[in-house]
Amino acid sequence: MIGLIYEWEQTADFITVNVQLPVGISGKLAEIKIGENILNVSLPGNYLIRIYLFGLVNKDSSKVIIKPGNITVNLKKKREENWLQLEHADNKNKKILTEKYQELLKNEEIELEEKAKQIRIDKREQKNKSVGSQLTKEQTKRELREQFKENEKSKLSKEIERKNLAELEAKKAAEDAKKKAEDAKKNSESKSISFSDSVPSYRKPPGTNGDAPIRKSKMAAPRNRGKIQIKFTERAFPTPVRESKRPEEEEWLQKQAKARKAVEDFENDLEPHEKEVGYLEDKGIKMMKNGDIEGSLNAFNIAIKLFPSNPVLFMHRAAANLKFGNAIRAAQDAARGLEMFTPPVPQNLSQRLQCHLLRGRSLRKLEMMTEALMDFNEACKLDPKDKSIEAEADKVRDYIESNGDGWQEKWETDLLA
């Protein structure tokens, strides 16, 4: 190593070290390191100056100025005082100098790691803030959409209520008019009968003998009362029968009968051991592992028909549908499984975690990134130690931050129900 020529001077606050550069070597190529009590300047060509300082300096407040012939290092003292000399008494001890230099390198490495860590934390906070803002905007849009729907429903309800009230008033007015007409008719008939009773009749009605009574009222005799027996034909539809719709209704009834018969036949075709709990589930899982996705879907479908209250079957069918490429069915089955895994207890935590992951991956495939991120966040809460889940959530979060949510309002769906 070749030593460098330097000069130094001081004030109460600063130490200034002027290092002369060799001819032909630029100061931009110098590697300068400053520690609390050490200064190291190295240049290409094995030029080096390493000083174990007499006192302590503040690294962050120190400055380096590179000029065309020299390098000026302004070291900020930690205490306002005048140093007796620039170098420490042990500056000539190479072992101590090496130890101080290694300590400087170690401290710089620790500082770099802390800065990198702080940068990652700041970046994560910025991402979370950005995604949180995006989620808030999406939530605001949904709330406005729901508010618009509610307003339209309210308007429609008021309009229907107004029409019903108008119809009732019109009906009541018609009934009142009819009643007045009937009362007027009865009054006129009563006056006619009373007038005929006041005048004695000297003529007998034709075709009667002298002993027969004479009817004084002109009103028709009351009819004999009876009951009409009505028998309704049994009908499977709530609407009245129409000849134009009869072919469609007959076709639907035939399909329903065929479906019921198929269910009965399918239960009869199963062997007794196939109806046991867990048999079809294990069979479907084994087929899915072997790559027979269609066979596993068929097994899970039959198992769900036999045991519709088992949420694990919906979870497995969601996984099979996702592998088969049917993301909509997968999201629906995962949502159904989450509904059935209630109440949430430690015994079903792994199943709920799996349902959140399946629905999140299905929604991600459908470009419903905001909803997918919600499921991944829930999965992270259930298992915070799994870094792979956090990595998936970060990918979705990065996508939303870069591209926004691909969801469109016209894609109304019930996949989250």
CB 352 within 8 A of CB 344: yes
What pLDDT score was predicted for residue 333?
93
What pLDDT score was predicted for residue 405?
64
| 64 exposure class (CB count in 10 Å sphere: 0-12, 13-18, 19+) | middle
- Between CA 238 and CA 245 the distance in angstroms is 13
In this structure, is residue 143 part of a structural domain? yes
CB 374 within 8 A of CB 337: no
> Domain count of the chain?
3
CA dihedral of residues 370, 375, 379, 382 (deg, nearest 10): 110
CB 82 within 8 A of CB 55: no
Out of 46, 69, 90, pick the residue that ends a domain.
Answer: 90
In this structure, is residue 133 part of a structural domain? yes
Out of 90, 120, 152, pick the residue that ends a domain.
Answer: 90
- Between CA 13 and CA 124 the distance in angstroms is 40
Same domain for 358 and 397, yes or no, is yes
Q: How many CA atoms lie within 13 A of 238 on its CB side?
A: 0
What pLDDT score was predicted for residue 388?
92
Beta-ladder partners of 16? 9, 74
Question: pLDDT per residue over 242-277, tens digit each?
Answer: 888 888 888 888 887 776 665 555 555 566 666 677
Q: Which residues of the chain have pLDDT under 70?
A: 1, 189-217, 259-275, 405-417
Same domain for 383 and 365, yes or no, is yes
Same domain for 386 and 343, yes or no, is yes
Question: pLDDT per residue over 192-238, tens digit each?
Answer: 554 444 444 445 555 455 555 555 567 777 777 778 888 777 777 77
Range of the domain at 44: 2-90
Out of 190, 208, 233, pick the residue that ends a domain.
Answer: 190
In this structure, is residue 249 part of a structural domain? no
